[in-house]
Structure 1
Amino acid sequence: MSRPMIRHLAVFVRDVEKVAAFYESVFEMDVLHRTVATETEGAAVFLSDGHLTLAVLPQRLKGEVAHGINHFGFSVDNMEAISGRIKAAGVEEPQKRPSTRAFAELRGCDPEGILFDLSENGYTRSKASAEPAKEKAPV
């Protein structure tokens, strides 16, 4: 099995479009996916530098994190093996993420309760996405 890699970082921000535009223009990140706002959640933007996926999520006054980092994600080759290691470390076994949440199959936490996602499918190949990522044509 190859070494697990951090491939996904999520941040809560007040102005999703402004922050997404910043990363897109300053760091030349590509927009992979945009969600549609609902009655309970604002729209989010997912960007990538070709390796790391950055989820820019809307800050909510009612929520587990008011502003800043929410969670990060690992790309893994063998979900069962990683889940076993997590459980063996005395931490709760990772749980399935809701089908409405794109880009990861499981959510776990470290001994301090810091959340992370786990994905065998990769963060740019989500099967749960309601709107497929738009691939950019090679230049």
Structure 2
Amino acid sequence: MGSESACSGLGLRKRFGCLRRDQKREDSQEVSMAKIKHIAIVTMDAPKLAEFYTKVFDMKILHSSKSGATYLTDGYINVALLPNKAEGKPNGLNHIGFEIDNQEEIARRIEAFGIKAPAQRPRNRPYAETRGCDPEGNNFDLSVHGFQEVEYEADRERGIKRVQEKVDA
């Protein structure tokens, strides 16, 4: 049994030391456990994939951008469906987005694995402050602010107000 399913019940959470998403570890002074906030999938047809996830899993559409990206949520984790614009690049997982408490501490931990610290993201990419990769080259984004708070930063700068749809979980 993997640790993902091992922490689903109260007794098992205590046994394996897992926490609810709203809890912090008492022994962690510097940072709390990172939270997966979004998963980005590269696709040839974001609207078709969005229709699949909304009809099959009852996910809600948060936003569709002019670039062709569609953002979905289940109320806890967001899924970014990104148009595949790179010739020859396969569809599939592009990256996982984590919300963290402390960029410097996470960078130190990554460097302890002999991996380059995450790089600053361009300012026109408001969803995360930095991007890094794990030992096998899988990409991840890191944000102290979180996907929800900065997702529409450019819209806010243009005076467009985001309407937060209440998602029943």
TM-score of the superposed pair, with normalisation by structure 2: 0.70
The one-letter amino acid paired with 2:52 is: F
Q: CA deviation at 1:137?
A: 4.9
Which residue in 2 is equivalent to 1:102? 126
Unaligned runs of 5+ in 2: 1-30, 157-161
The yes-or-no answer on 1:31 pairing with 2:31 is: no
Which residue in 1 is equivalent to 2:52? 22
Q: State the structure with bigger RCO (CA 8 A, min sep 6), 1 or 2.
A: 1
The one-letter amino acid paired with 1:114 is: N
Which residue in 1 is equivalent to 2:150? 126
Q: How many residues align structurally?
A: 133
1:10 to 35, 40, 49: 40
TM-score of the superposed pair, with normalisation by structure 1: 0.83
Identity among equivalent positions (%) equals 41
The yes-or-no answer on 1:46 pairing with 2:71 is: yes
The answer to which structure has the higher strand fraction is 1
SS at match of 2:150: coil
Runs of 4+ in 1 over 6 A off after TM superposition: none
Which residue in 2 is equivalent to 1:40? none
Q: CA deviation at 1:60?
A: 2.5
Q: CA deviation at 1:75?
A: 1.2
Which residue in 1 is equivalent to 2:95? 71
The yes-or-no answer on 1:116 pairing with 2:122 is: no
Task: Deviation per CA, 1:20-69: give whole Å up to 9, x if none.
Answer: 122123222222222213xxxxx101111111110101123426x32111
Unaligned runs of 5+ in 1: 38-42
